[in-house]
């Protein structure tokens, strides 16, 4: 797992993290493909990049994307996992 600083986050990454925090995303456990509002996310590498950085993870049963503690800290939210 790599680390990503807040300065390294793009505006798109921040938008994805906000969508995850809002419960609007699912993520595939096998390839980290993101689905936002029922549609595949155009940036095919965003899910893998954010998951590898330890900022998002998949809920085991539902496939819902969740912010990790690191993701919440970088986004600056108090949204629980």
Q: Is residue 32 part of a domain?
A: yes
CA separation for the pair 61, 16 (Å, rounded): 21
Residue 2 lies in a domain: no
For residue 24, tell me if it sits in a domain. Answer: yes
Mean pLDDT (whole number) for 69-74? 91
18-22, 29-33, 48-52: the lowest-pLDDT one: 29-33
Report the C-alpha gap between 65 and 31 in whole angstroms: 13
Exposed/middle/buried for residue 18 (C-beta within 10 Å: 0-12, 13-18, 19+): middle
Residue 81 lies in a domain: no
- Which structural domain range is residue 55 located in? 12-74
Give a yes or no: residue 52 inside a domain.
yes
**Number of separate domains in the chain:** 1
Q: Is the pTM of this model over 0.85?
A: no
Considering the domain boundaries, does residue 47 fall inside one?
Answer: yes
In this prediction, residues 50-75 reach a mean pLDDT of 89
Q: Distance between CA atoms of 49 and 27, rounded to whole angstroms?
A: 12
Strands 39-40, 65-67: pairing kind? unpaired
- Asked, for residue 6, whether it belongs to a domain, the answer is no
């Amino acid at each position: 797992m790599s680390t990503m600083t807040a300065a390294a986050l793009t505006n798109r990454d921040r938008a994805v993290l906000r969508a995850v925090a809002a419960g609007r995303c699912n993520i595939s456990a096998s390839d980290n493909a993101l689905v936002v509002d029922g549609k595949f996310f155009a940036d095919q590498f965003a899910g893998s990049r954010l998951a590898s950085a330890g900022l998002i993870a998949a809920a085991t049963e539902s496939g819902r994307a969740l912010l990790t503690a690191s993701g919440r800290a970088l986004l600056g939210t108090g949204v629980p996992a």
